[in-house]
């Protein structure tokens, strides 16, 4: 999995007025926790954070703080402003290279479904799937070849097979599929 370096400045626990002042300066308050370490409070610039949040990819985050400490983490939770879509707060979860990590990984669709060529309509319900693996085994994306999908067939999370990776999304969850349309139903009797 790809890494993303993010630089941060240590901050102290503060009240709402101080947090609002950070946001007016273009800084986003963040919190790092996990792996038995005490919570680390820091800020990052909103511009730097957009490289991490405004993409469909998933990253391992290399946090470099101004006190000289560095941490490896993943995005755990983001809080957004309901109107302006600005990021208000970020929670990072510290991870270890030896321990398994649960993270959402984007799916990559390829091929042309046989059902679409027969008049069906392709649909995709999930853009990412939650997986668990050690950092070395985490994939950048999960490839799905939809070529064998025929009319009224679906590709589910249980159909994904990746070496050394456990799929945490429930097996019955539909990722994508092909559904019949009026055109495909009208053509079916004519073919028979």
Q: Give 96-122 pLDDT, tens digit per residue.
A: 888 998 999 999 999 999 999 888 999
Q: Give 16-61 pLDDT, tens digit per residue.
A: 888 889 999 999 999 999 878 888 999 999 999 998 888 888 899 9
- Domains annotated for the chain, with CATH where assigned, are 3-94 (2.40.240.10), 101-191 (2.170.120.20)
pTM of the model: 0.79
- Tell me the three-class secondary structure of the chain, residue by residue: CCEEEEEEEECCCCCHHHHHHHHHCCEEEEEEEECCEEEEEEEEEHHHHHHHHCCCCCCEEEEEECCCCEEEEEEEEEEECCCCCCEEEEEEEECCCCCCEEEEEEEEEECCCHHHHCCCEEEECCCEEEEEECHHHCCCCEEEECCCCCCCEEEEHHHCCCCCCEECCCCCCEEEEEECCHHHHHHHHHHC
């Amino acid at each position: 999995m790809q890494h993303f370096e993010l630089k941060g400045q240590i901050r102290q626990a503060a009240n709402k007025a101080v947090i609002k002042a950070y946001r007016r300066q273009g800084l986003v308050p963040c919190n790092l926790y996990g792996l038995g370490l005490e919570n680390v409070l820091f800020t990052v610039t909103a511009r730097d954070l957009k490289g991490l949040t405004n993409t469909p990819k998933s990253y391992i985050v290399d946090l470099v703080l101004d006190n000289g400490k560095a941490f490896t983490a993943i995005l755990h939770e983001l809080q957004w402003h309901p109107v302006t879509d600005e990021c208000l707060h970020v929670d990072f979860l510290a991870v270890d290279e030896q321990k398994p990590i649960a993270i959402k990984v984007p799916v990559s669709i390829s091929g042309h479904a046989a059902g679409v060529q027969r008049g069906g309509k392709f649909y995709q319900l999930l853009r990412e799937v939650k997986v668990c693996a050690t950092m070395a085994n985490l994939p950048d994306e999960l490839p799905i070849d939809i070529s064998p999908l025929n009319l009224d067939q679906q590709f589910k999370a249980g159909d994904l097979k990746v070496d050394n990776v456990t799929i945490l999304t429930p097996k019955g969850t539909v990722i994508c599929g092909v559904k019949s349309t009026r055109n495909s139903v009208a053509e079916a009797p004519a073919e028979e």
